[in-house]
Copies of this chain bind each other. A is one copy, B any other.
């Protein structure tokens, strides 16, 4: 299927991820993929409907606290949290929070096939997905799943991740989930690589794709799930010394794709701020900002109440906690009920970027969120839901929101709807955007918690835990040449 001279050319770049990222064809074509995915959709037919949060089978509203917990005491619970901080405009507030202290595994198996690294993706149904079925990592398991403490069968391919003799580690790091919804939740993001000659069975729900093919799916709405996006964001490219204009001409890569490649592979010397300076800026902000959180009974937090089968805020903003009932039409899979979070619609997750010193730089925001593990994490330039600001003073709107909201079409480089995790969030789609500013627009000095970074710097930081938040990581996975 693949053009051998193109593969040879790509392999001459001597970075296997780069080769895979620039391979828009693999052992399967996109037509093969479309057929497989349609088949999986048919095999995974489900019906999901909303039910009252206080009448979820297997779950209860705890006496006294009003906390929402599973009757076994396992899985996750929804409790109240009081937040006090000197960051931002709101010094104190209360909100529900998902408490799930376990560390899960999100992992891709990769293997080199016909000279190109392929990723084993899974077609996976989650009840909160707008379209139910999306592309997920090979393995997506909670600790209870993979240790099977609750009984049940082990997830497919688990053994490759637990036995370090079966595969080489490519990346393996703890990464956070939404700090505005989860209390200090982290998952292990892993990419492993099995031997080229290992014969691995491809189960019906699984399919081999190159990074370039996954990138093509990321240009569609709501296909590549949040867990895939976060794991993929851990991939970084080594600095490559090459004539990018020639490479991009050869491969038919558009000018913005070339600017992305150059930024991914940029030496530190070309950055606005050297890497040590970035670390220092981040360290300083951790000493400036304080956040204190206190778990509280869900029925005692201010402004929130259980009414009409939902836990919601009295002003109708932010999010509510609802219940869903999941019924499978096929006999093979089970039916169940569970709580989900339904957020206010219309969220925007956006990076603003601009050429500086001949390299594309991104405005990164250091942000306190209540569930953060370590005070701040790095977020996209803009991460906000406009309806939550209805009735508020215009000056309360976050910095740079006008650059995104009023961007002219020719400045918009990425613009898709992407889903948050459908196992916890109900129909939660955010608009993922990347806006490139004209080179001659002078923004001046950024606010203290914003900084310019190259993609190379961003990816260097992502190798370590709790630097970039999941919104930023998810958006970064959409930045493909």
Residues of A within 8 A of B (CB): 103, 143, 164, 169-174, 188, 190, 276-277, 279-280, 283-284, 286-287, 373-374, 463-465
Chain B residue numbers with a CB within 8 Å of A190 are 280
Query: Complex formed: what's the CA distance from A200 to B369 in Å?
Result: 41
A173 touches B287 (CB 8 A): no
Chain B residue numbers with a CB within 8 Å of A172 are 276, 279-280, 283-284
A143 touches B284 (CB 8 A): no
Query: Complex formed: what's the CA distance from A276 to B170 in Å?
Result: 7
Distance to closest chain B CB from A353 (angstroms): 24
Q: List 19 A-B contacts (CB under 8 A).
A: A103-B286, A103-B287, A143-B287, A169-B276, A169-B280, A170-B276, A171-B276, A171-B280, A172-B279, A172-B283, A172-B284, A174-B283, A174-B287, A190-B280, A283-B465, A373-B374, A374-B374, A374-B465, A464-B464
Query: Complex formed: what's the CA distance from A174 to B375 in Å?
Result: 12
B277 touches A169 (CB 8 A): yes
Chain B residue numbers with a CB within 8 Å of A373 are 374
**Which of B174, B287, B374, B465 is within 8 Å of A188, CB to CB?**
B287
Residue of A169, A173, A277 ringed by the most chain B CB atoms within 10 A: A169
Copies in the complex: 2
Of chain B, the residue at the smallest CB distance from A283 is B172
Distance to closest chain B CB from A462 (angstroms): 12
Of chain B, the residue at the smallest CB distance from A290 is B101
Query: Complex formed: what's the CA distance from A105 to B368 in Å?
Result: 22
**Which of B171, B174, B283, B464 is within 8 Å of A286, CB to CB?**
B174
Chain B residue numbers with a CB within 8 Å of A188 are 283-284, 287
Distance to closest chain B CB from A446 (angstroms): 14
Chain B residue numbers with a CB within 8 Å of A280 are 164, 169, 171-172, 190
Of chain B, the residue at the smallest CB distance from A286 is B174
A279 touches B173 (CB 8 A): yes
Of chain B, the residue at the smallest CB distance from A161 is B284
Query: Complex formed: what's the CA distance from A280 to B172 in Å?
Result: 5
Distance to closest chain B CB from A445 (angstroms): 12
Chain B residue numbers with a CB within 8 Å of A374 are 373-374, 465
Query: Can you name 6 extra interface pairs (CB under 8 A) apart from A172-B283, A374-B374, A464-B464?
Result: A103-B287, A164-B280, A171-B276, A172-B276, A173-B283, A188-B284
